[in-house]
Homo-oligomer: A and B are copies of this chain.
Amino acid sequence: MRMRMRAHLDERINECSDYILKSQEELYEYINGKNFHIEIGCGKGGFIVETAKQNPDICHIAVEHIPNVAILAAEKAKGENLENLRFVFKNVMDLSEDIKDGTVKRIYLNFSDPWRKNKQAKRRLTHPGFLKVYKRWLSEDGEIFLKTDNEKLFEFSLNSFCSEDFHLKNITFDLHNSSFEGNIMTEYEKKFYDEGKNIFRLEARK
């Protein structure tokens, strides 16, 4: 069964081949010297596909390391014939050296895994170890947009961003009852929203 699922996945990946960047060369060719927006951990892609649709002039890259999930996102983008969105099926840390310094205009971190145990803190996508990489990637006016339903991750993230000297703004503990406009919901967020759970959000700049 597992073999069949896997074979099926390879087929689907093959079919979306144009939407998946498989090497540093393909990444550079796609970016072509432009600044771009990147979502780290795009999940099923609902957010980044809609974001790319609404911003046709911006080049988007979505990173997701779980192929079974990432393929759903790539298929969505292909279904929409999006020219300004491509996928990297990798762990973000494996991309660390592939992305040139100062080239990322915006990083989206949406509902990242909170890694609840203290000993797992280093895996959180807002751990100072990651923030140092993002800081290197970001352009001078680059920014990070973070959303999460997890209060502990948000508290941890605030401290991390502050310790790495990011400048924060538009911090909200309840996005859907805030003055923020134009929010695009992720699949997770829709679920939490329906449950009446509040969403935390912030923007961070170098």
**Interface of A with B (CB < 8 Å)?**
151-152, 154-155, 158-159, 162-163, 165, 167-173
- The distance in angstroms between the C-alpha atoms of A151 and B173, with both chains bound, is 8
Q: Is the CB of B170 within 8 A of A159?
A: yes
Q: Measured between C-beta atoms, what is the minimum distance from A189 to chain B in Å?
A: 19
- What are 18 A-B residue pairs whose CB atoms fall within 8 Å in the complex? A151-B173, A152-B173, A154-B173, A155-B171, A155-B172, A155-B173, A158-B158, A158-B168, A158-B171, A159-B169, A159-B170, A159-B171, A162-B167, A162-B168, A162-B169, A162-B171, A163-B169, A165-B167
Q: How far is the CB of A49 from chain B (nearest CB, A)?
A: 30
Who on chain B is nearest to A203 by CB?
B162
Number of copies: 2
**Nearest-neighbor residue (CB-CB) of A200 within chain B:** B155
Q: How far is the CB of A153 from chain B (nearest CB, A)?
A: 11
Q: Which residue of B lies closest to A154 (CB)?
A: B173
Contacts of A170 in B (CB 8 A): 159
User: What residues of chain B lie closer than 8 Å to A159, measured between beta carbons?
Assistant: 169-171
Q: Which residue of chain B lies nearest to A156 when distances are taken between CB atoms in the complex?
A: B171
Question: Which B residues lie within 8 Å of A152 (CB)?
Answer: 173
Instruction: List the B side residues contacting A158 at CB < 8 Å.
Output: 158, 168, 171
In the bound assembly, the distance between CA atoms of A117 and B38 in angstroms comes to 38
Q: Smallest CB–CB gap between A36 and chain B, Å?
A: 26
Q: Which of A170, A171, A172 has the most CB of B within 10 A?
A: A171
CB distance from A170 to the nearest CB of B (A): 7
A170 to B156, CA, bound (A): 10
Q: Which residue of B lies closest to A157 (CB)?
A: B171
CB distance from A114 to the nearest CB of B (A): 14
The CA-CA distance from A154 to B158 in the complex, in Å, is: 13
Bound state CA distance, A78 and B162, in angstroms? Answer: 41
Identify the closest chain B residue to A174 (Cβ). Answer: B155
CA distance A169 to B160 in the complex (A): 9
Known: A155-B171, A162-B167, A162-B168. 15 other contacts (CB 8 A): A151-B173, A152-B173, A154-B173, A155-B172, A155-B173, A158-B158, A158-B168, A158-B171, A159-B169, A159-B170, A159-B171, A162-B169, A162-B171, A163-B169, A165-B167
